[in-house]
A and B are shown apart, each in its own frame.
Chain A
Amino acid sequence: MSAPKSAAANRPTQARPSSSWRTTAAEIAACWGPTAGRVLLGLVLAWFGYHELVQPALWTGYVPAVSSGSAPGVILVLAHGWLLLVLAAALIAGIWVRGTAGVAAVLLAEVVIWLAVKGGLSDLTLRDAGVLGLALCLTGATKQRFVLTS
């Protein structure tokens, strides 16, 4: 009879560290998750923005309603790339994060819609939909670390 009592007495002490670990992990995730998401989304935008700027002709195939490689297509790609680069810098530096993420979400929504219209639901479309979801999440994130406020 004493063994069950002993086991029952031990339960709370065993549960406490697990609960504590989970709480700590949740606190860390809540604290750093938006920051990680912001920086990683910024890196994605920076990568695409840079490549659209340096090799715009390769991206004109994504521009709706203009011929691939045409001057209007190149100009649109350059403008898109420039905007992505500025948005990336703002996100990585933590400047106007929610507004910047909102603008990025609009751009990504346009990409997702165009990919879906052009090719239906594919791995590319859903991957970009996931990035769009990240941008939408950041529009509601109020806690950020490593922000350039000065």
Chain B
Amino acid sequence: MQFGSVGPRGLVLLAAVGVLGLVLAVHGWAHRETGAVPGTLSNPSGAAHAPATAARSTPPTAGVTPPAQSGQSAAAGAPGPLLASQPFAQYSFVIWPGTPTPAAKAALTGLSVSVRRQPSGLSVTASVNGQGTGSAHFYPAGVSVYVVEAAMGDDSGASDYNLGDDGLVVTDSHGRIIS
């Protein structure tokens, strides 16, 4: 069976691309954390039943966190870096306050995120469609909620095939990430 031919130039080209790929792989490995989306909504176990909730990027501090209400978990932590300074800022779409834009709605594909006003703040619930309802997290008033979706191309209909690039970010009134 004849697959084709290759000469010295072709071999050199393949070798060069192979080396380039290795260099990129080393770069990708070294920066694997910086490209990741915080508060990922993907299932940590790889199974399809664990509820997805927004993960913390900073540990919570009791002084900032309002008392948790019944059935809710307090989630606000010490303010972290500015969302605008993060590499995923360009993929972040605000869903609270205000009405989500069409891009934000597209980013929410496959996810169920609800934000409700509470007497002393906001209650945010996030989950993946078809994986049950996540627990509510409580934040003080004045926060903004963003959905992060690095690539829209993995969304189809009401499903998101790759939750590794999805996340939920909550910032304080100064734009600093608190969750």
Task: List residues of A whose CB falls within 8 A of some B CB.
Answer: 49-50, 52-62, 64-69, 74-75, 78, 81-82, 85-86, 88-90, 93-100, 102, 115, 118-119, 122-125, 144, 147-150
Of B9, B14, B44, B150, the residue contacting A89 (CB under 8 A) is B14
When distances are taken between beta carbons in the complex, the residues of chain B under 8 Å from A150 are 7-10
Structural contact, A58 and B150, CB atoms closer than 8 A: yes
Of B2, B17, B44, B156, the residue contacting A67 (CB under 8 A) is B44
Among B35-43, B58-66, B76-84, B96-104, the one that faces the other chain is B35-43
B120-165 at interface with A (beta carbon < 8 Å):
150-151, 153-154, 156-157, 159, 161-165
Structural contact, B36 and A57, CB atoms closer than 8 A: yes
Q: A54-B27, A150-B9 are in contact. Are A86 and B17 (CB under 8 A)?
A: yes
Which residue of chain A has its CB nearest to the CB of B20?
Answer: A85
When distances are taken between beta carbons in the complex, the residues of chain B under 8 Å from A49 are 21
Q: Decide yes or no whether B28 CB sits under 8 A from chain A.
A: yes
CB distance from A119 to the nearest CB of B (A): 5
Structural contact, A94 and B164, CB atoms closer than 8 A: no
8 contacts between A and B (CB under 8 A): A54-B35, A56-B35, A58-B151, A61-B162, A61-B164, A68-B43, A68-B164, A102-B3
When distances are taken between beta carbons in the complex, the residues of chain B under 8 Å from A148 are 6-7, 9-10, 13
When distances are taken between beta carbons in the complex, the residues of chain B under 8 Å from A144 are 4
Structural contact, A81 and B7, CB atoms closer than 8 A: no
Closest CB pairs A-B (n = 3)? A61-B164, A99-B3, A68-B42
Q: Decide yes or no whether B71 CB sits under 8 A from chain A.
A: no
Structural contact, B4 and A122, CB atoms closer than 8 A: no
Structural contact, A78 and B25, CB atoms closer than 8 A: yes
CB distance from B51 to the nearest CB of A (A): 15
By CB atoms of chain B within 10 A, which of A53, A68, A85, A144 has the most? A68
* Bound CA span A67–B18, Å: 27
CB distance from B16 to the nearest CB of A (A): 8
Which residue of chain A has its CB nearest to the CB of B5?
Answer: A149
* Bound CA span A95–B14, Å: 9
Q: A85-B20, A86-B14, A89-B13 are in contact. Are A59 and B162 (CB under 8 A)?
A: yes
Q: A119-B156, A122-B159 are in contact. Are A53 and B25 (CB under 8 A)?
A: yes
CB distance from B29 to the nearest CB of A (A): 6
